Every structure is written in structure tokens, then in C-alpha cells.
Amino acid sequence: MDKYRAYVPYLFLFPALGILFFFQFFAWGWNINIALHDVTIMNFRRAWPFVGLENFRDIFTDPVTLVTLRNTAIFATTGIISQLLIGTGIAYLLFRAERGIENFFRPIFIIPWLTSVLVASFGWRLVLGRDTGIVNMVISSLGFEPISFIGHPATAMLAIVLANIWRGTPFTILLMNSAMTSISPQLVEASKIDGASQWTFYTKIALPILKPFILMNTILITVWTINAYGLILNMTGGGPINATRVFPLHGYLAAFNEGRFSFGAGITILSVLMTLVLIYFYLRFYDADVV
Amino acid sequence: MSEKTNRIMILSFWAAFTLLPFYWILDLSFQKQITFPPDIFPANPSLYHYTNLVNERLVVTGIINSLLVSLVAAAVSVLITTMAGYAFASLKFKGKKILFFGVLMAFLLPPNLNIIPIYSLFSELGILGSRIGMVFLYQLLATPINIFLFMNYFNTVDDAIVESAVLDGAGVYARYYKIFVPLAKPALVAGFIFAFRFAWSEYVYATTMVSDNSKILFTAALERAVFSGQYTVNFGYMASGAIFLAIPVLVILLFGQRYLELGLQLGGVD
């Protein structure tokens, strides 16, 4: 290899990493700064009084916070478990399928992940809608009254969970499918020759190979399911009566609908901390070798 | 039933679930009067909602701005992430591991969570709601995945080619634009597709950051058109607008699937 000055690689890195780190890490510092001051729509362009941890006290004494945490728990638990189970199941069926069948279904399965959250939101609003939905056509043909899914608290939660599973599962299908392709056919053959049962093969050979992929997949969909609120923002706006107001959406709405920027900034910080705690438990669980 | 039929039935069921909203959007978008119960297949197909939507000035402005911002953002993304990918794949420098770890961490932080500080910083910098601000923001959405993509692609470039280029006197800059970039054409397309679709589809920032109607982006303009009635939702706009939003993705699937698969593979997803 030839010689180049030591700073040259950094010149190549700077445009991409400079902007990335500015937006992600510097912005996070700025977020903490906002959370420690009192920033509202009133003094947004003026001096910000320092208030320490007062915003966090406000967050924990706000009765809505508890509701949003409960909503996040329901939305995330059902969403993550369904995506993992369905995604891995479909990935396995694709893996076992003949090449032609796999090539037919694969592109179809990717589509929801490629489209905008707005398509997911509009699509499911129309499918479930009281005046527009095919689901309500079935319901009324069975002799029941059509339901406004996003108009009632329990069904609105069901609607956003469904739309999120629809949009999120393709990622798990892709990732787990490629993980399964990394198990070599020779290994499968060898285990057959050695007389290993199907069960032994799955638990003793396949699972250990798939474990790191399952971990990575679980971490990523946890981060996204807990923190991505765009779908909910558009589909229900957090309603009705806060029934779908998940924790990070609480922060967004506080900032941009109510002008309480510091309150919102505090919530995003807590949201990330919450995610990190979960990831920590995943890693502990993973190391403990219980799976 | 044999195991194979079962397998195909389950896969078909999931495919039906996946395609249901698309079919329904398409079906409703061609029905002039959307009344309950809607037609399962449009009885009198009409382009009414499409022509109405493209007659909304705000929506047209949004489509033009979104195309402009997304294309520029995708071009910027490909330019700067090929540079970074080249450095990670082919150059030696101190702090490589820690910087790469930084990229990974940035990939893990969902951009939605940063909207409050970015709103504030953009306001301080005077670029809040500007197209250039949105270009900066949107190219960023694809940065980590494109860095992985180009780094992995450049890693596959034969060492012999690089060594002979060095012997021919190609310096550190020339190797980037004479060897690595020209060899990476399929990856360039894949990276461009990724970055474009992130920018074109983005919703939360678009609807929050831009208040000036002349700079509005498509997703935000569409949202406003759909909910412009005080008590009613325009289902026709919802359906026809969703089709417009999905068009680039369909184009990618029809004509660029090869590049998409390559991108997914190298971007570490697949």
C-alpha cells in the first residue's frame, strides 16, 4: 500500500460522520440542555431559565404519563412478540420453500416495510373504517352494527397494534430468513446421518446458530416499536381520550401541540433510558443461556 | 394435506394480509362516491379522486418539493457515504473501531426521538422549514445503512486491482473515484434507492418542521388535504394519495428489485 497523510482518511469520513454525529449525538446533548431548562412556546426564541430536574418531576406527577406508559407496555409487548413469532415463522416457511415459491412471495412480503408510515396508516384506516372498511362489511353482513375502530379506546389500540405488526414484521422475515440461510446444508445432512431427530436438530444445532440473530432482531424491533410513533401520530393522534397516546408520542404532543418543549425533551430522554434498560435485560438473558 | 400445501397456504394467507390494505386503497381510490358498504370491486371506476388531488395546489407543491428534496438528499447521501465507506473499507487510520461503533449507535437511535432538539437547533441556525435543512436531515436517515452497504461492497473489491492501481501511481484520492466508485455501480443504485425512499416516505419531520406552504413536502401536504374538512375526512384523498406515495416503491420493486436485494444484503439487513 502507498503512503498518504494521516489526516486523509478523516477527510473522507468527515462529511458523512460529521453530519451524522452532529444530528445524533450533539442533538442529544442539546436535548438534555432543553430538558434541564424551562423551554416553552412562549420563551422559545428568548432566554431559557435553568430549572434542573423540575421537568422530570412534572413528568412523573403528570397523571397522563402513567396512562402513556401503560399504553406503551401494551403496544410494545404485543407488537414485539407478534413480530418475532410471525416473522420467524414466515421466514422459516420461506426458507423451507422451493426457490420459485420463495422468489414469488419474498417481494410481496417486503412491501409494507418499504412504504411510508402514511400508507400504513391510511391503508388500515380505510380497511377498518366504519364507512369504508371491508372488516365492517363482514361485521354488518353478520348482522352486527359497524364499529368505528379508531373511535373507541380498546379497538383503537387494536388498530395501531395491527398496523404496526403489518409494517414491522417484514424486517424480521428478512433478517431471520437470511440467518437461516447461513445454516449450511452440509450441517443439516450431517445431523441426519448421525441420526439426530428433528427436535434435536432444531434445539441443539439450529437454535445456537440463530441465537445472535434473534438477539439483534429483538433489540432492533424493540427500539423501533417503543420509540417510533409516526404511525400512531397519523392514525389516531393518540386518541380517543389518550387511549393510544404512547410514551414518546406524549413527548411529541407536549412539545408541538402544547408548546411544552422541555417536558417533551425529558420524555424522549426517559424513553431512551427505558429502551437501554430493556436491551440490558435482553443481554443478561442472552448470556444466562436460558434460551 | 401434505406439508407443502400447508406451507403454501400459510404463506398465501400472509401475502393476502400484506396486500389487503393496498388492494383496498386501490379499490376505494377508483370509487367516486365512497358510501357504506363500498364496492369490493369498483363498479364504475372513476379517476375523480386522482384528478381532484392533483388539482390541489398544496399537494402539487408538495410532490415537487418532495421529489426535489429526496433526489438531492439521495445524491448527497451516495456521495458522502461512498467516501466514508471507502475510508472504512480501504484506508488505515486511528480510531476506526470507535468511529464505526459511533455509526452503529447512531443507527440504533430512532431519528423521531431527536425532533425537539433538531427543531430548536434548526431554529437557531435559521434553517427551520427550509429545503436545504430537510436535505441535511433526510440524507441522514440513510447514512448508517449506506455506510454499511458501501463498506461491505468495497471490501469485496479484489486487492490485486487496488495494488496494481497503486503501482500505476494512483493516489489515495484517485483510487476512490477511478477504482472504487466505478466498480460499485450496482451498490450506488441500491444506496440511491434506499436514501430516496427514506426521504420520500418520511412523515413526522415533514409535518412538524415545515410551516411555509411553498416549501411543504408531500406527506405533510397530503395529510392536510385529507383532514382539511372540519368534521370530515376525505377518504378519496386518503386512497389516491396513498397510491401516489406508494408509486416509487412499486417502481423500485418492478424495475430495481435486483438492486434492492443487493442493498438489503450488503446493508446488513439480509
The one-character DSSP state at A151 is: G
Q: What is the ipTM of this complex?
A: 0.92
Q: By three-state DSSP, how is residue A40 classified?
A: strand
What average pLDDT does chain B have?
91
Tell me if the bond preceding A153 is cis, omega within 30° of 0. no
Average pLDDT of span A264-271: 96
* B114/A268 CB distance under 8 A: yes
A chain contacts of residue B17, beta-carbon cutoff 8 Å: 166
Q: Above 90 in pLDDT, residue A181?
A: no
Closest C-alpha among A119, A219, A134, A62 to residue B239: A119
Q: Above 80 in pLDDT, residue A114?
A: yes
Q: What is the pLDDT of residue B1?
A: 63
Residue A33 lies in a domain: no
A chain contacts of residue B203, beta-carbon cutoff 8 Å: 116-118, 230, 233-234
Whole-number Cα distances in Å, B215 to A172, A239, B52, B100: 36, 29, 21, 35
Write phi, then psi, for A260 (nearest 5 degrees).
Answer: -95, 80
What pLDDT band is residue A201 in, cutting at 50, 70 and 90?
A: confident
Residue A16 lies in a domain: no
Closest C-alpha among A39, B205, A263 to residue A248: A263
Q: Above 60 in pLDDT, residue B270?
A: no
User: What are the cell numbers at B121?
Assistant: 437547533
Q: Above 90 in pLDDT, residue B87?
A: yes
Q: Above 50 in pLDDT, residue A291?
A: no
What average pLDDT does chain A have?
91
Q: What is the CATH number of the domain that holds A282?
A: 1.10.3720.10
User: What are the cell numbers at A277?
Assistant: 434498560
Contact assessment for residue B120 and residue A30, using Cβ atoms and an 8 Å cutoff: yes
Give the closest of A19, A107, A123 to B242, CB-based.
A123
Residue of B nearest to A171 (CA): B269
* A126/B235 CB distance under 8 A: yes
Q: Above 90 in pLDDT, residue B33?
A: no
The one-character DSSP state at A145 is: P
Residue A257 lies in a domain: yes
A97 touches chain B (CB under 8 A): yes
Q: What are B195-222's pLDDT values in tens digits?
A: 999 999 999 999 999 999 999 999 999 9
Average pLDDT of span B132-140: 93
Chain A nearest-CA distance from B164, in A, is 10
Q: By three-state DSSP, how is residue A50 classified?
A: strand
Whole-number Cα distances in Å, A107 to A98, A110, A173, B69, B145: 15, 5, 11, 27, 20
Q: What are A14-33's pLDDT values in tens digits?
A: 999 999 998 888 999 999 99
Residue boundaries of the structural domains of chain B:
56-268
* A131/B36 CB distance under 8 A: yes
Range of the domain at A129: 52-290
Q: What is the pLDDT of residue A158?
A: 96
Number of domains present in the structure of chain A: 1
Stretch 23-82 of chain B: residues touching chain A, C-beta under 8 Å: 24-25, 28, 34-38, 40, 79-81
Average pLDDT of span A108-123: 93
Q: Above 70 in pLDDT, residue A4?
A: yes
Residue A60 lies in a domain: yes
Q: Decide which of 3.40.50.620, 1.10.3720.10, 1.10.10.60, 1.20.1260.10 is the CATH code for B56-268.
A: 1.10.3720.10
Q: What is the pLDDT of residue A289?
A: 62
Residue A71 lies in a domain: yes
Round to whole Å and give the CA distance between A97 and A136.
Answer: 35
Q: By three-state DSSP, how is residue A37 classified?
A: strand
